[in-house]
């Protein structure tokens, strides 16, 4: 008796298409979030839209504010949905060229290091000595051609579609929150004289957010999970000399922030999304302060 009642309750909780109540579905319109079945789905740049939202934004004039195209996270749909990803790649490449031109003297000043004597600078350097900017600048430095090539290809493949799905502002917040969280965990756990650099922390955050988004849209997650597992195996492989702390910190921050981005209710969407970013940053700040207290 109890089992039958539970089954009936579960059946009622399954969403059904708003136009065809007899059809269960796990897909929702990315603009109005109404459940839609395969017959009602209209393919969009990210996800699917319902027929009403497509008709509402198909006029020749500007659409009303309530019906303007929005990303699945509520961001504004732009003419170039990958613009910010291109800018980030450009900044990384430009700083890599600066690194090649200036050598270790440039890298030593901006890579992430907790506290250590740096021969080229003839002084003790590091975040523990007040150089907190290293937590940010290390996100844009790379140690060689294979390093930056792999990271920039990953940023383009993962970051581009995610920027289109979230919108520029939310994507920008996710990228920097993930990168700084990765730097904070690396600073907390790694040896104080162990330098690290690279965009990998932020990119792992994009991996985590992409997994959450694909789950939200009911996409096949197996290719992404396989790629993520391969990257984690490489991260922890002996002799690879990879700052795994930054990867894990970025990944966790990306999952948490990404969940808030794509699952926040529409009524308080921006408050929850950016509020989560602030909370993740506060956790990163606490980790940094704890480590600084330990080293000083």
Helices (H), 45-193: 51-56, 83-102, 104-110, 134-137, 145-154, 160-166, 168-189
Q: For residue 263, indicate whether it is catalytic.
A: no
What single DSSP character describes residue 148?
H
Q: Which residues contact 116 (CB under 8 A, 6 or more apart)?
A: 124, 125, 126, 192, 193, 195
Name all domains of the chain by residue range, CATH numbers in brackets. Answer: 14-67 (no CATH), 83-295 (1.20.1540.10)
The catalytic residue among 7, 147, 200, 263 is 200
Low-confidence ranges of the chain (pLDDT < 50): 1-12, 58-67
Angle between helix 200-216 and helix 222-236 axes, rounded to 10 deg: 160
The catalytic residue among 105, 147, 247, 263 is 247
pLDDT in tens, 10-40: 444 568 888 888 887 777 787 787 888 877 8
| Whole-angstrom distance, CA of residue 47 vs CA of residue 291 | 42
- C-beta of residue 191 within 8 angstroms of C-beta of residue 126: no
- Mean pLDDT of the residues in the chain: 85
- Tokens 């991260």 belong to 235
Grouping H, G, I as helix, E, B as strand and the rest as coil, residue 117 is strand
| Whole-angstrom distance, CA of residue 32 vs CA of residue 47 | 12
pLDDT score at 3: 42
pLDDT score at 69: 67
Q: Which residues contact 295 (CB under 8 A, 6 or more apart)?
A: 114, 115, 126, 128, 192
Closest CA to 262 of 66, 16, 71: 71
pLDDT in tens, 225-271: 888 888 888 888 877 778 889 999 999 999 999 999 999 988 888 99
Q: For residue 196, indicate whether it is catalytic.
A: no
pLDDT score at 78: 79
pLDDT score at 60: 38
pLDDT score at 119: 75
- pTM, two decimals, is 0.77
Neighbour count for residue 233 (Cβ, 10 Å):
10
Torsion of CA 271, 274, 276, 277, to 10 degrees: -170
- Tokens 């990306």 belong to 254
- Tokens 């990119």 belong to 203
| Whole-angstrom distance, CA of residue 32 vs CA of residue 294 | 50
């Amino acid at each position: 008796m109890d089992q039958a009642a539970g089954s009936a309750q579960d059946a009622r909780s399954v969403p059904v298409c708003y136009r065809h109540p007899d059809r269960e579905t796990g897909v929702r319109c990315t603009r109005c979030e109404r459940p839609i079945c395969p017959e009602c789905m209209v393919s969009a740049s990210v996800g699917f839209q319902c027929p009403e939202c497509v008709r509402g934004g198909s006029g020749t004039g500007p659409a009303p504010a309530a019906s303007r195209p929005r990303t699945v996270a509520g961001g504004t749909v732009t003419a170039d949905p990958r613009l910010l990803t291109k800018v980030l790649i450009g900044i990384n490449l430009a700083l890599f060229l600066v690194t090649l031109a200036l050598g270790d003297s440039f890298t030593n000043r901006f890579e992430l290091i907790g506290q250590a004597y740096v021969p080229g600078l003839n002084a003790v350097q590091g975040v523990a000595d007040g150089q907190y900017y290293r937590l940010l600048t290390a996100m844009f430095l790379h140690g060689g051609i294979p390093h930056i090539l792999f990271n920039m290809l990953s940023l383009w493949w993962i970051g581009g579609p995610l920027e289109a799905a979230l919108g520029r502002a939310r994507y920008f917040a996710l990228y920097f929150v993930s990168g700084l969280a990765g730097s904070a965990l690396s600073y907390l756990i790694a040896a104080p004289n162990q330098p690290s650099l690279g965009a990998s922390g932020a990119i792992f955050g994009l991996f985590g957010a992409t997994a959450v988004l694909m789950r939200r849209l009911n996409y096949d997650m197996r290719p992404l999970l396989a790629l993520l597992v391969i990257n984690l195996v490489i991260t922890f492989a002996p002799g690879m000399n990879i700052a795994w702390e930054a990867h894990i910190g970025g990944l966790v921050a990306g999952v948490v922030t990404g969940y808030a981005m794509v699952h926040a209710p529409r009524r308080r969407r921006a408050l929850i999304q950016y509020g989560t970013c602030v909370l993740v940053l506060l956790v990163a700040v606490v980790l940094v302060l704890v480590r600084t207290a330990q080293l000083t």
